[in-house]
Every structure is written in C-alpha cells, then in structure tokens.
Amino acid sequence: MPELPEVEIVRQSLEKKIKHKRVKKVIVRNRNLRFKLSSNFRSYIQNQKIVKVGRFSKYLIIYLSDGHYCLIHLGMSGTIHIVNNNLSKVITNTSFYSSQSLPKKHNHIELLFDKFKVIYNDPRRFGFFQIIKSSLELKKRFNHLGPEPFDPKYNLNYVCEYFKGKNKNIKSFLLDQKFVSGIGNIYASEILFLSKIYPFKMVNTLNKKECHKIILNSKKILTKAILYGGSSIRDFKNLHGTRGKFQNEFKVYQREGKKCKNLGCFNLIKKKIFSNRSTFFCEFCQK
C-alpha cells in the first residue's frame, strides 16, 4: 500500500495514539509474514512503554523503553487499525479503512494497550515486524538504503555521480531504494511527469538540468502528498475519516486514456508495463 507519504501519515497518527503508553499484551495470530516472526517476538514488546514512533523511508520504527526497536514494514497491503478495547469500535483510523469495513480476516498481530488495541492487518503478507536490539543494528538494517528524497545527500552531485555508466531508465532508478529510498510506483510516475521527463529515458543521457528537476520534484511531490494526507487508491467501501486526498491530485497515475492535465496539451495519458510495474506518462510533455 504505502510509499513514504502514507507511512508518514500512519506514523503521525500512531505516535499520537501510543506514545508514552504501555503495551499490556501482544497477540500473534499469524507469524508467517514477509519474514517469519521470531518465536520470542512477544516477549520483547510486552510490558514495554512506547518512547516514540519514528520512520525511515517506508519503515516504521517503534522505540521501546528498554532500548529495543520494533521495525514495521507494511508491504503492499499492510494496514494498522486502532480499536477501542471494550466497545470494539474504531476510534482512530490510521489506515484508510472505516469502522464499518474493519476487516476480521488477516488480522495478524495485535498490541493491547489499556484502553485500545493496535491491529496489524495484511492480506498479502508482504509486510513484516522485526525486533532490532540496538541503534547500531538499526543503522545496519538500513545500510542498503539510499538517502530519502528530503536528505541533503540527495543532491545534484550524488545523482550525477550515481548515474555515470548506468544503463537503466530513470523510472527504475526512482523505484530503486538503493539509489533513493521512499519513492514507490505512484510517486515515481508523478515526479517524472512534473519534471517533463520520459520515464524510459536512460539515466546516462540525462543532463544536469534534468537531474536537478528530478531532485526538486521528488521533494515537492512527497511533501505535497504528506500535506494532503497521502493517497488512498482502490476505493474501499464506506471510506471516511482520515482518508488521504492526494489521489485527487494525480496527474498521470491511473489516468490511462484521460487527457493530459498540462495546459494546452490534448494528448491522452499512456500506460506502459515495465518490469511488471505500470508506468503512466504523457508522450508529448515528457521527453
């Protein structure tokens, strides 16, 4: 489901809800996630106080009072719900589901607090929970990831150097978390449309000006998406509450066959499947 903006929205609402609160009990219903949940997973979280909820790229980091960390990745379909304990009613919505459509199936992990519980639901099970035991280990865990788009390290020098001698298109690089981390399939298309760059242009043919536009627009699109509360795509039934609004701002994503939104352009948005992911673009505006 989520790219960096959606994960950030989840982080904000989750932290608001659980910071300084103690986990009373942990229920594991299914440990077969992306990575199998370790057998002692519960013991690391039970009775811990939540110090804060952080995020790096598309990963949530729960800081536990004894210095350990609980790393969460939502994969493609992971969602987090907060449900009131006695009333069994959704009181905070961190996942774009409404109380009416709260799924019973695929609730794999539950963290029980005094008055509410946090439920992890994930039909496809591409997401995961992991215990990280030290800040050093946490750093190592993210070692393979490139800078976030907001990081000053994601600059013209870095990008130009990185692209030297690389024989791959720009869309693939925006999705490559080793190059820049946090961008996914929606925002990659949107960033390239805004930059007026053809998604399948090889990076070794990009000039400095184009690299500069990609850097600026990566920051711009993700910042705006966070401001809009993320994107809620695929229309769930009975949605309400904290549903994101950025899907209304899409210029190309899921707009195949529709008119280009650039002023004066009457071309229709195209969709092309490349390495199993769809890419949306305007042939006329993106060169």
Partner DNA sequence: AAGAGGCCCTGATAGC
Partner DNA sequence: TGCTATCAGGGCCTCT
Catalytic residues: 2-3, 58, 277
Compute the least distance from the CB of residue 197 to DNA, in Å: 17
Q: Is 104 in the site for DNA (CB under 7 A)?
A: no
For DNA, the binding residues in 174-233 under the rule CB under 7 A are 175, 177, 184-186, 230-233
Residue number, 116 or 230, with CB nearest to DNA: 230
Q: Is 3 in the site for DNA (CB under 7 A)?
A: yes
Residue number, 113 or 142, with CB nearest to DNA: 142
d(CA 26, CA 166): 46
d(CA 186, CA 225): 11
Residue number, 8 or 15, with CB nearest to DNA: 8
Residue number, 199 or 230, with CB nearest to DNA: 230
Q: Is 248 in the site for DNA (CB under 7 A)?
A: no
Residue number, 96 or 129, with CB nearest to DNA: 96
Q: First-to-last CA distance in the chain?
A: 29
Which of the stretches 21-29, 40-48, 124-132, 191-199 binds DNA when contact is defined by CB under 7 A?
Answer: 124-132
How many residues sit close enough to DNA to count as binding (CB under 7 A)? Answer: 41
Compute the least distance from the CB of residue 102 to DNA, in Å: 13
Which of the stretches 61-69, 82-90, 257-265, 273-281 binds DNA when contact is defined by CB under 7 A?
Answer: 273-281
Which of the stretches 42-50, 64-72, 119-127, 191-199 binds DNA when contact is defined by CB under 7 A?
Answer: 119-127
> Residues near 90 by Cβ (< 8 Å), separated by ≥ 6?
81, 82, 83, 84, 97, 98, 99, 102
Give the x/- contact pattern for DNA in 40-79, rule: CB under 7 A. Answer: -----------------xx--------------x-xxx--
Q: Which residues bind DNA (CB under 7 A)?
A: 1-3, 6, 34, 57-58, 73, 75-77, 96, 105-106, 123-126, 144, 166-168, 172, 175, 177, 184-186, 230-235, 244, 271, 273, 275-278
